[in-house]
Structure 1
Amino acid sequence: MDFPARIDVHHHIVPPVWAETLAARGLTSGGWAIPAWSPESAIAMMDQQGIATGVMSVTSPGVHLGDDADARDLARAVNEYGAEVVKDNPDRFGHFAGIPLPDIDAAMAEAVYALDVLGADGVVLMSNAHGKYLGDPDFEPLWAELDRRAANVFVHPAQPPMPLLPGTPAPLADYVFDTTRTALNMVLNGVMDRYRKVRVILSHGGGFLPYAAYRFTGLTSTVVDRNRNADDLLRDLKRFYFDTALSASPSALPALLAFAEPGHVLYGSDWPFAPQEAGTYYNHFLETYPDFTPGQAESIDRGNAEALFPRLAR
């Protein structure tokens, strides 16, 4: 790539207050160490990987670490830090605001503040909030608020409410499982049907949703409203957007492209939790993949994201 062009919708920020809070509580991201991050190191990585803009988000465990009051304070501090990074480098960074679910009142208040006051480009939700998945009826007011604003919603996986496999950090297996679990929960509970203005981006190629989508729709006729058939469920599953982070591989990318609607695949790096060497590998596969349709590679790199983030359009 001759010049930085990509829009990276899966770029993690590590605000000092967030990293310090996790360290003080002995927390990690599902057993994965919290890496160093700075705007300068991020820009250096982006220049090397052909990325023009990184849309930042905190990763699991998010901003709600168990106490509602602490979560409100941490969310505000994280989001104001991210907004300052964007203010200093508006062309190089965007910002998904952290939301303190499962505290629904605080989550709604922070979403409104982040979108309306801080100018966030969307919000990031963990795939489950202390065991409550994103299709939970308690979260309906938040979805309604986000739908009113036609907001971008980035769903990042969290550790599911079960023990880690011994010797297996959650990002290796549990994260792809939990992304798929929350996406199916949202569809079966009608979130994607009722709130059609929100644009929901699933991390890591949607977990294994593209691979298993037709299995889901073929087996759910006995557990959903009789007024919604398999075609309705498939339509709602196809409303999701997907990033390519750790998913532009010889087996995952063809399945993703076969399932996703046109315009619904976006570039993602997962840096700095995914090492730069991984980014080089997946970028090479994207750049040499032989079966893209005309213009598809450029759309994944940038064009599809420009439709979701008009301020970044060239």
Structure 2
Amino acid sequence: MTTALIDVHAHFVTERYVAAARAAGHDRPDGMPGWPEWSPEAHLALMDESGIATSMLSVSSPGVHFGDDTAARELAREVNEFAIEVVRAHPGRFGHLASLPLPDIDGSLTEIAYALDVLGSDGVAIETNAHGRYLGDDHYVPVWAELDRRGAAVFVHPTSPPHAEAISVGLPRPMLEFLFDTARSATDLLFAGVFERYPGIRWIFTHGGGVLPLLADRIHLFRTAFAGNQQERTTSEQLRGLWFDMAGTPFPHQIPALEAAFGLDRLVYGSDYCWTPQAAVAAQIAGIDAADRPGEPTWRTLTTRHTRKLFPALNRDSE
């Protein structure tokens, strides 16, 4: 019997959210051609066709903060409440990672409490930077302290870096810039000592860590030879403590690179639907199934086992 996947990297949009983003100038978000369509029915159909048992819903880039704290707080609350209604309408099929109005600290702390204590969200979703302020900045310390206290899952989704239009040479930023911004954000957290100071946070990074597996040794060199960093654990030890999803193009190169750098103990599945079209999700899953190794757990079995460890509530839902 084929093991059902659990998708930790699944997105949704609403008409109100898209309208707010467009009003803020995001007609072609992150250089993409336009906005995807989404509905619970279409998402469930994809899941049934692809053997996905449960999908964790989150809002993707460009997030919910478009420059005004009050508007961002209202939009975060709206999309979070919408997603929870979808979760409740389809028991066991969806989970939810709540949007936060970063870089607004007070608004984010309020939304953390509401999402986790009232709505029952499974964790929170943030972006690799908030208007150019990366996650190692001391500005975020109150948020990390609260999430650490709660032992929360924090899904870190890439977004466009500062001056993206100048450096992306007209290409969609998810193709290259997202992968570099994932590495940039994780490195910023590492150098700032956030991973060591807040060990209770369950960090999830996307797309196999982007270019992070290829740069881990170089990052460690600069930490030790030039930065004089005296953190207790090595770069590799800290990065091995992160969770990584398989969204994008996991085979033939991305996941083997991740395995060589950090191992597979915290690998989970991600589709990136609805920003990744249905046909591309189907092709990705076919590639994952074709890459199974003889005598080893299938990628489905391995990632589903890990995801149930990452989100223990899924085990209660399946009982």
Does 2:136 correspond to 1:140? no
TM-score by length of 1: 0.94
Identical counterparts, % of pairs: 43
Any conservation in 1 of the 2:258–2:264 contact (CA below 8 Å)? no
- State yes or no: 1:100 paired with 2:105: no
Listed as ranges, the matches of 1:193-272 within 5 Å are 193-224=196-227, 226-228=229-231, 232-272=234-274
Query: What per-residue deviation string (whole Å, max 9, x for no partner) do you get for residues 125-168 of structure 1?
Result: 11000000111111011001001111000000010001322321
Gap change, CA 1:37 and 1:312, over 3 Å in 2: same
Q: Name whichever structure is richer in helix by fraction.
A: 2
Deviation at 1:197, TM superposition (A): 1.1
The one of 164, 168, 186 aligned to 2:189 = 186
The amino acid of 1:133's aligned partner reads Y
**How far did 1:49 drift?**
1.2
Alignment of 1:1-314 (within 5 A): 2=2, 5-27=4-26, 28-32=28-32, 33-164=34-165, 165-224=168-227, 226-228=229-231, 232-291=234-293, 294-295=296-297, 297-313=299-315, 314=318
CA positional deviation for 1:301? 3.6
SS of the counterpart of 2:124? strand
Partner AA of 2:169 in structure 1: P
Matched residues, number: 312
- For the residue of structure 2 that corresponds to 1:273, the secondary structure is coil
**C-alpha distance in 2 between matches for 1:254 and 1:6:** 20
Q: Which amino acid aligns with 1:40?
A: E
The answer to whether the 8 Å contact 2:5/2:51 transfers is: yes
Shift of 1:300: 3.6
Superposed CA RMSD in Å reads: 1.7
Deviates more, 1:290-299 or 1:166-175: 290-299
Displacement of 1:263 after TM fit? 2.8
| Secondary structure of the corresponding residue to residue 119 of structure 2 | coil
For 2:31, what is the secondary structure of its paired residue? Answer: coil
Range with greater deviation from structure 2 (148-157 or 215-224): 215-224
Post-superposition Cα deviations, 1:72-99, rounded to whole Å, max 9, x if no partner, equal 1111101111111111112110000000
Amino acid at match of 1:117: V
Measured against aligned partners, the alpha-carbon deviations of 1:94-125 in whole angstroms (never above 9, x if no partner) come to: 00000011111111111111111110000001
Deviations 1:164-208 (A, max 9, x none): 223212111111111110000001101111111111110111111
| C-alpha distance in 2 between matches for 1:170 and 1:279 | 19
Tell me the distance in 1 between the aligned counterparts of 2:301 and 2:260: 16
TM-score by length of 2: 0.93
